[in-house]
């Protein structure tokens, strides 16, 4: 199986939405997302939740993601097999995340061009366990190194078994790529790979 990894651009947004609409959650996962929440500030997230009253929340989130892709706020990589998008990794400069996030995990760091945060993986169920997440993470590391970033930081969650909403990737994924644990925030393990 040949895996191709491409950085998300506005031109690839149709592939992005094709993945999330048709393959990302085909295992009856209770959660439907477009990976847009991590880029929202507390204020933006609260407003979005207010706006969902009486409106299809999935459509609202999809529209938010469309705007984020157009403006470059939502960054990451798509994985392809046979020309079809089968995986996603949300990875962005830590300075581009909100300093007061809607979610509890603080991906933000104030110094631009220093660290890339890897915050989410989603792999189509039939492609899990086939090296897609590893290929995505390796591409993040390669591009971060090429662009002179000092490190890549991941945020896996301690789990004894697979949890269907756990999208940060398993600790072993980061360990295999040479990350080391630097701290903990509740159940979240902050792991870092130095590049310089």
Closest CA to 127 of 38, 23, 37, 35: 23
Residue 88 confidence (pLDDT)? 97
Q: Is the predicted pLDDT of residue 30 greater than 60, yes or no?
A: no
Domain of 8?
3-194
pLDDT-derived band at 185, boundaries 50, 70, 90: confident
Task: With a cut of 90, say whether residue 69 has pLDDT above it.
Answer: yes
pTM: 0.92
DSSP string, 61-122: HHHHHHHHHHHT-S-EEEEEETTEEEEEEEEEEGGGS-SSBSSSS----SSTTTEEEEEEEE
**d(C-alpha 101, C-alpha 42), whole Å:** 5
Q: What's the first-to-final CA gap in the chain, in angstroms?
A: 32
Proportion of the chain above pLDDT 70, given as a percent: 92
CA 163 to chain centre: 16
The average pLDDT across 132-145 equals: 98
| Number of domains, the chain | 1
CATH number at residue 188: 3.40.630.30
């Amino acid at each position: 199986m040949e895996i191709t990894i491409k950085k998300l651009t506005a031109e690839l947004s149709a592939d992005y939405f094709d993945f999330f609409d048709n393959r990302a959650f085909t295992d009856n996962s209770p959660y439907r997302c477009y990976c847009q929440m991590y880029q929202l500030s507390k204020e933006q997230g609260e407003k979005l939740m207010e706006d969902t009253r009486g409106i299809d929340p999935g459509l609202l989130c999809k529209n938010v993601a469309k705007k984020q892709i157009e403006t470059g706020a939502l960054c990451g990589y798509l994985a392809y097999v046979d020309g079809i998008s089968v995986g996603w990794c949300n990875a962005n400069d830590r300075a581009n995340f909100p300093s007061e996030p809607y979610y509890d995990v603080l991906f933000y760091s104030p110094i631009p061009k220093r660290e890339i945060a890897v915050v989410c993986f989603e792999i189509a169920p039939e492609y899990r366990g086939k090296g897609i997440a590893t290929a995505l993470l390796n591409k993040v590391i390669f591009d971060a190194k090429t662009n002179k970033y000092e490190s890549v930081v991941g945020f896996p969650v301690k789990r004894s078994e697979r949890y269907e909403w756990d999208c940060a990737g398993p600790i072993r994924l980061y360990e295999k790529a040479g990350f080391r644990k630097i701290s903990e925030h509740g159940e979240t393990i902050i792991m870092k790979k130095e590049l310089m």
